[in-house]
Amino acid sequence: MTEQAPPKSGLPERPVLIAFLIFVLVGGGASIAIRVTYGELAPFWSAASRFALAAIVFWILAFIKKIPLPKGRALLGALIFGILTIGLAFLLIAWGLVATPASIYQILMALVPLLTIFLSTIHGIEAITRRGLVGSLLAVIGIAITVGGASTADISLPHIAAILVAAAFVAEGGVLIKRFPPNPPIMTNAIGMTAGAIILGAVSLLSGEEWTIPTQTDTWIAFIYLVVFVTILVFLLYMYVLSNWTASGTSYGFVLVPLVTIVLAATLVGEKITVNFLIGAAFVLVGVLVGALLPSKTKPEIVEECKDRSGQVLPRCI
């Protein structure tokens, strides 16, 4: 006797979808806050300090919840995630944002879903589909249209290349962690951010950055927002969504975040929402719908849940 598995759906469970939306909304202010901290803090030092503080918070939470330290491959997976997604990626992002306009940065990071699809296929985790490719390309086109009116003068190609490599590291980290035993999100972030903060701090020291403490109110507000809401809350939500959804589906957050960023910039700076924004937003939403959220039309697989290895029907299924 056999049972049919239900058709696969692109939509995750409601708590996961809510976490995904909060991750997108809160993460939208990250790039604005980072640029504010650059007024007083050196780039690598700003990143290292916020990840170090967040790591301490996650270790305290892990201690309170009595979450055991993972061993073997579970520990290795968390370390690799931290090295790629936090240490190396934010090392390049911190340097790249110094000479790259925020609009161009957002376009480049919108490539994460497309990179995730290819990397997932290379690692044998998710099969590449035409729909996924079309959705990713539509989303990237949408971001390009949305921020197409921004000035691209004085762009540094090395800094742009750094952000492209950072996007690849983010995508690779999200894919590779799927190949290792899962950990609670709190523990994964505690380990990952510790590894990332060590890398960022070492580079900050080697580059001769001055480790200063903010003196201006705006810098403190931006830094606290980055630590509490972005580095702790958003990363916790990201790991929760990643552990309960596909790597490619989760990566679409990097496409939606720029739209939130532009809305916040318009609200805080007084910029008008242009026709480019409306057209681009439509492209992005359609891309996300096509590439990640619509149910799959593949035929349901037959699940042999009622037979033993010899093919005999189990008593509980009679």
Q: Is the pLDDT of residue 1 over 50?
A: no
- Digit-coded pLDDT (tens) for 276-317: 777 887 888 788 778 766 665 554 443 344 344 444 433 333
pLDDT of residue 235: 84
- Exposed, middle or buried, 274 (CB in 10 Å: 0-12/13-18/19+)? middle
Query: Could you tell me the maximum CA-CA distance found in the chain, to the nearest angstrom?
Result: 73
- Digit-coded pLDDT (tens) for 259-282: 888 788 777 756 566 787 778 878
Q: Is the pLDDT of residue 22 over 80?
A: yes
Please give the Cα distance from 180 to 111 (Å, whole number): 24
- Digit-coded pLDDT (tens) for 114-149: 788 788 888 877 777 888 788 888 888 887 887 665
Does residue 276 lie in a domain region?
yes
pLDDT of residue 198: 97
Does residue 312 lie in a domain region?
no
User: For the chain, what is the mean pLDDT?
Assistant: 81
Q: Is the pLDDT of residue 79 over 60?
A: yes
Q: What is the mean pLDDT of residues 9-30?
A: 84
Does residue 315 lie in a domain region?
no
Q: Is the pLDDT of residue 10 over 70?
A: no
- Exposed, middle or buried, 129 (CB in 10 Å: 0-12/13-18/19+)? middle
pLDDT of residue 317: 32
Residue with the bigger pLDDT between 63 and 256: it is 63
Please give the structure tokens belonging to residue 98. 């110094």
Residue with the bigger pLDDT between 21 and 273: it is 21
- Digit-coded pLDDT (tens) for 215-244: 999 999 999 999 999 999 988 888 888 888
pLDDT of residue 295: 61
Residue with the bigger pLDDT between 11 and 308: it is 11
* Cα angle value 164/170/175 (rounded, 5°): 125
- Digit-coded pLDDT (tens) for 52-70: 999 999 999 999 999 999 9
Task: Give phi and psi for 115, each to the nearest 5.
Answer: -65, -40
pLDDT of residue 7: 38
Q: Are 171 and 112 in contact (CB under 8 A)?
A: yes
Does residue 193 lie in a domain region?
yes
Q: What is the mean pLDDT of residues 36-48?
A: 94
Q: What is the mean pLDDT of residues 11-30?
A: 87
Closest CA to 162 of 105, 87, 247, 210: 105
Does residue 317 lie in a domain region?
no
Does residue 247 lie in a domain region?
yes
pLDDT of residue 226: 94
H-run or E-run covering 63? helix 43-64
Does residue 37 lie in a domain region?
yes
pLDDT of residue 279: 86
Q: Which residue has the tokens 């580079």?
A: 203
Does residue 263 lie in a domain region?
yes
pLDDT of residue 148: 64
Closest CA to 166 of 94, 259, 77: 94
pTM of the model: 0.76
Number of domains forming the structure of the chain: 1
- Digit-coded pLDDT (tens) for 154-203: 567 788 889 989 999 998 998 888 788 888 889 999 999 999 999 999 99
Q: Find the domain containing 242 and state its range.
A: 26-294
* 214 HSE (CA, 13 A, CB side): 18
